[in-house]
Amino acid sequence: MGDLLLSLPALYSLRIYHKNNPWTLVGNTANLVLLHLRFYAQAIRSHHEKEWAYLFRERPLLPERFRLFLQGFERVYIFAHQPPEVLIENLKTSGAFPVDWIPSFPEAKRKEPVPVVQQRVLSAWGVPWVSPEKSLFPTDQDRQAGLQVLDRIGFRGRPGLLPWAIHPGSGGRSKNWPLEHFLTLADQLKAQQQWQPFFILGPVEEEVSPGMAETIQARGFPLVRHLPLNVLAGLLDLSAGYLGNDSGVTHLAAALNLPTFALFGPTDPGLWGSRGEKVVILRSGPSGVPGRRKDSLPEAATGGWERLRVSDVLAAIQRNPPIL
């Protein structure tokens, strides 16, 4: 999900550039549901459908129905780490349309994050770069589903308190600020009698860090688990603020223009950080991330999490309070 969301500025710019053309997106449909009929695409297709495998073979004989499907397009853009030469050649042969590759990975040597790399590519093609404040657009149905989640975890009985989302996980344990820190910070946010923190967990972080759910529930905080991404987007769109690690959910919050506080330990926010005027990045070392708000702390000798204290994160939230 993170790779898709980091590429949203490029997708948005291309969508504006080709505003009169219908779009079909091919990929992981669990992620693409965020974009389907939500400004970006009229149709989505799973890359796990068996027909796509033909395009990765030398000189494939395509099923007639699939060949006719491909011939209905005028242009193809491929987002990938490296140019998939066989796929590109087969698409050109099958549909006789232009096929353009867009890098989907940072340029480490040049210290360029994904959006900078992609902006340079699109500019070379004459595609204007557009940077909207908000690049994800949940539907009314998404927000209604989010309201139902808030009701289910008891927010109807907490008048005057604004929901604050906390996602304490990620795909890698080393990227996670200690759970006890998240819980202590949630206690302090709750004590301000303005916010009602709730926690978000998905299957990935529960697999990487088992026992998280039980620990959170034992502390008495509302917990949301395993939501479809469109419902999660609707839920976050109703929240006052967000706190999380370097993860796809953090990119999701930033794309919704939600006040987002992103915590970085071993990974480089200069390459992987979320972007946006409402994004505040905190890490144990110097952030040096242009174009977004940041709160840097002295770098720890080990480069670990021990120098990012609860008091530091709370102070950053107090310096940059959500404007409601």
Q: What are phi and psi of 96, to 5 degrees?
A: 55, 45
Give, as one character, the DSSP assignment of residue 41: B
What CATH code would you report for 140-319?
A: 3.40.50.2000
Closest CA to 294 of 309, 266, 311, 273: 273
Alpha carbon distance 66, 51 (integer Å): 7
Q: What pLDDT does 158 receive?
A: 65
Q: What pLDDT does 157 receive?
A: 56
- The CATH 3.40.50.2000 domain(s) of the chain lie at 140-319
Q: How large is the average pLDDT for residues 77-85? A: 97
Strand order in the sheet with 195-201: 223-225, 195-201, 162-167, 241-245, 260-264, 279-283, 293-296
pLDDT greater at residue 286 or residue 202: 202
For the chain, give the mean pLDDT: 90
Q: How large is the average pLDDT for residues 292-300? A: 41
127-172: pLDDT as tens digits: 999 999 999 999 999 999 999 999 999 886 566 789 999 999 998 8
Alpha carbon distance 145, 66 (integer Å): 35
pLDDT tier, 9 (very low <50, low <70, confident <90, very high otherwise) = very high
Alpha carbon distance 35, 42 (integer Å): 9
Q: How large is the average pLDDT for residues 307-320? A: 93
23-46: pLDDT as tens digits: 999 999 999 999 999 999 999 999
pLDDT greater at residue 304 or residue 279: 279
Per DSSP, the residues of 171-232 read SSGGGPPPHHHHHHHHHHHHHTTSEEEEEEE-HHHHHHSTTHHHHHHHTT--EEES--HHHH
Give, as one character, the DSSP assignment of residue 99: E
Query: How many CB atoms within 10 Å of residue 141?
Result: 11
Spacing of C-alpha 155 from chain mean position? 25
Of 45-54, 172-181, 299-308, 313-322, give the lowest mean pLDDT range.
299-308
**41 Cβ neighbours under 8 A, 6+ residues apart:** 23, 24, 25, 32, 35
Q: Is the pLDDT of residue 275 over 70?
A: yes
Q: Is the pLDDT of residue 15 over 50?
A: yes
Rounded to two decimals, what is the model's pTM?
0.92
8 Å CB contact between 288 and 270: yes
Give, as one character, the DSSP assignment of residue 277: T
Q: What pLDDT does 285 receive?
A: 58
